[in-house]
Structure 1
Amino acid sequence: MTSVEKAGFADTVTVTCEDDRAIISSDTYPAHELMTGIVGTNEQVPLPAKKYDAPIPLKPVLGDTPQTRDAALGVAVNGVPIFDYTGGGEMTEKDLHHHQTEHDTLLTQQLDICGGHAGRGDDYHYHMKPVCMIAQMENAGNDAIIGWAFDGFPIYGDNNPDGTPVVEGMLDVCNGQTDQTYGYRYHTSEDAPYIIQCLMGEVGDLRELPRTAPLTSAATGQTVEPGQPPAGGVENLIFTQDKNGSRSMDYRYHGEDYYIRYSPSGTEDCYNFETKTVTNDGEIRTGEFCR
């Protein structure tokens, strides 16, 4: 998995070999701008995750039937998980052959300018081409692998590795194609599904693939329920963070200011929150929450 090292992310992402798999490990939190440009916010925020271990088969084998799941289908070379284009697990095998406009995270303005957002588990991930990550890659180019699917096949950008355009109509239902030179691989695309939307290779038990643990209340141990996207979306969403780990997401809705502010509490993987959200009718709430 020299792709991580060539891209310049070896200082934050580690790769180890285990039997017939490479394990790409990270905290899933990228070092580029986050959340800017989101209108259809779910009022979730990005937090580093505990060690996220993404298993990538070293000898991938194409399967007979495409598979999907309500979680990540792969991982970018900077350690950020890659999902299909839908926002909340709406994609099933029977949905692969038609575009679900109402669940398209790009069309519903749920994504930031980098192609990602914070999901229901307050975890940052990509739903389309990770343009900000690509801009940081030391080997950025058509032949650079930008990520790996959980079936072991690589993910490239919009063009073939030799720089030629992907021929219209050549990508399969999972946004992949094969040829004698480069074998099977996935691509990003300007049109839906934008990035990998299912797995064409054999993956075994999908339930064994990684998920990011949601936040829980330090006081009650209860899992935090995801927010509800405000009708019509929000305005002027800005996400800021400082070198001490304090973060703030501020936005306006129907002329009123809302925010989610949080900082490390001193306990590992725990944060003190103060929130005023549309989901909670503007009520100011505080608490400590942990990964």
Structure 2
Amino acid sequence: MNIALHRDTKTLKTGAGLLLISACVGIGGATAAQAHDDHCAAIAGSVVDAGFADSVTVTCSDTHATIRSDTYPDHDLMTGITGTNEQVPVPADYAAPVILVPELGDTPLTRDAALGVAVNGVPIYDYTGGGEMSQTDLAHHQAQHDTVQTGQLDICGGHAGRGDDYHYHAAPVCMIAQMDNAGPNAVIGWAFDGFPIYGDTNPDGSVIADGVLDVCNGQPDVQFGYRYHTSQDAPYIVQCLMGVVADFDALPRVAPLVAAAGGGATPGRPPQGGVEGLVYSEDENGQRRMDYRYAGEDYYIRYAPAATQGCYDFETKTVTNAGALQSGEYCR
């Protein structure tokens, strides 16, 4: 675990390594500097306590905690998907910025990309599959774009998106099962506005009454001022941000795959009626494959690390490409 503050600091030893904490003294128990440092420690601690410090790093600057990972979790992937978009999970370097001094705003914010990040470093999106959510859509459920109802998600609450990047659209149940500190009071992720994400219940384990959660699936919190939740019903997870994010339009996106010979990869599209028997696997040599059936015929996507770092050799037979065999090298 790498935690650093870019100010005058003092160093404390922790079980996770070196934690750098500001030497500023709080007035009345909480100066802005102290609040900043406490929030940095809380974000870093949530990763350590969950047991993901070996694969996720947290680095704090003056304004943000950056949670960095390869977005490729160590749990089951893609199993249970029927409405596949014929994309596959390819590791991607991802640096998620979480505001260290969060502030509630006046207008909910949404976009066609991640709104936060889980403590295992996997991005968290709203429940829609292709960026269909807009400000006016927040007030009503979009069943036709609901990734849960249309079978686009695996049994873990995620899938590979248009950039062949794995991310969550609903409660990350497989990740939660892996957490060393799994329980109602465990933070499972952080929204980019700096507020934490919890599971389906209040941190004390009590049931969240109907109508308590707001349009973004959040509510006030004694410790952090505000918190988000997952839920069994739509919107399932964070669907917008209630906090102020000054650089909202500049929030990061996972870089899409690009053909080594030039040109981008063709995004897949869900086959009409869905597929059957989709299975994803990876062997000890790093060979990855996704196999499935559609209209009685077998299809697949196979890929493995290429000689060039950050690139993968692909061989595919997809419904999107009418069953034509295709191959090529694609890179981030």
- TM-score normalised by the chain length of structure 2: 0.86
Offset from partner CA, 1:34-75 (integer Å, 9 cap, x none): 0000000000000000x2111111110000000000000000
State the Cα distance separating 1:20 from its structure 2 match. Answer: 2.0
Kindly indicate whether residue 273 of structure 2 is the aligned counterpart of residue 232 of structure 1: yes
- For residues 115-264 of structure 1, the aligned pairs below 5 Å read 115-180=157-222, 183-220=225-262, 222-264=263-305
Partner of 2:70: 27
Offset from partner CA, 1:162-183 (integer Å, 9 cap, x none): 1111111100000000144663
The answer (yes or no) to whether the contact 2:195–2:224 under 8 Å persists in 1 is: no
Read off the aligned partner of 2:190 and give its amino acid letter: W
State the Cα distance separating 1:246 from its structure 2 match. Answer: 0.8
C-alpha separation between the residues in 2 aligned to 1:61 and 1:189?
24
Kindly indicate whether residue 117 of structure 2 is the aligned counterpart of residue 75 of structure 1: yes
Kindly indicate whether residue 324 of structure 2 is the aligned counterpart of residue 290 of structure 1: no
C-alpha separation between the residues in 1 aligned to 2:81 and 2:98?
31
Change (3 A) 1:26 1:179: closer
Structure 2 unmatched runs, 5+: 1-42
C-alpha separation between the residues in 2 aligned to 1:253 and 1:208?
39
- The structure 1 residue matched to 2:321, chosen from 280, 284, 290, is 280
Structure 1 unmatched runs, 5+: none
Partner of 1:13: 56
C-alpha separation between the residues in 2 aligned to 1:83 and 1:99?
15
State the Cα distance separating 1:140 from its structure 2 match. Answer: 0.2
- The structure 2 residue matched to 1:95, chosen from 132, 137, 152, is 137
State the Cα distance separating 1:243 from its structure 2 match. Answer: 2.2
| Consecutive aligned runs of 4 or more in structure 1 exceeding 2 Å deviation | 179-183
Higher RCO by CA contacts (8 Å cutoff, separation 6 or greater): 1
Read off the aligned partner of 1:136 and give its amino acid letter: Q
Partner of 1:48: 91
- The structure 2 residue matched to 1:267, chosen from 285, 290, 308, is 308
Aligned residues: 289
State the Cα distance separating 1:280 from its structure 2 match. Answer: 0.5
Read off the aligned partner of 1:137 and give its amino acid letter: M
Larger radius of gyration: 2
Read off the aligned partner of 1:283 and give its amino acid letter: A
Partner of 1:64: 106
C-alpha separation between the residues in 2 aligned to 1:185 and 1:128?
16
The answer (yes or no) to whether the contact 2:221–2:227 under 8 Å persists in 1 is: no
C-alpha separation between the residues in 2 aligned to 1:266 and 1:135?
35
Partner of 2:5: none
SS in 2 for 1:178: strand
C-alpha separation between the residues in 1 aligned to 2:278 and 2:104?
42
Change (3 A) 1:270 1:179: closer
C-alpha separation between the residues in 2 aligned to 1:64 and 1:167?
24
State the Cα distance separating 1:207 from its structure 2 match. Answer: 2.0
Stretch of structure 1 that moved more, 106-115 or 202-211: 202-211
- TM-score normalised by the chain length of structure 1: 0.98
C-alpha separation between the residues in 2 aligned to 1:224 and 1:63?
38
C-alpha separation between the residues in 2 aligned to 1:243 and 1:84?
33
Offset from partner CA, 1:59-113 (integer Å, 9 cap, x none): 1000000000000000000000000000000000000000000000000000000
State the Cα distance separating 1:205 from its structure 2 match. Answer: 2.2
SS in 2 for 1:110: coil
Offset from partner CA, 1:213-253 (integer Å, 9 cap, x none): 00000012x11121111000000000010122110000000
The answer (yes or no) to whether the contact 2:55–2:69 under 8 Å persists in 1 is: yes
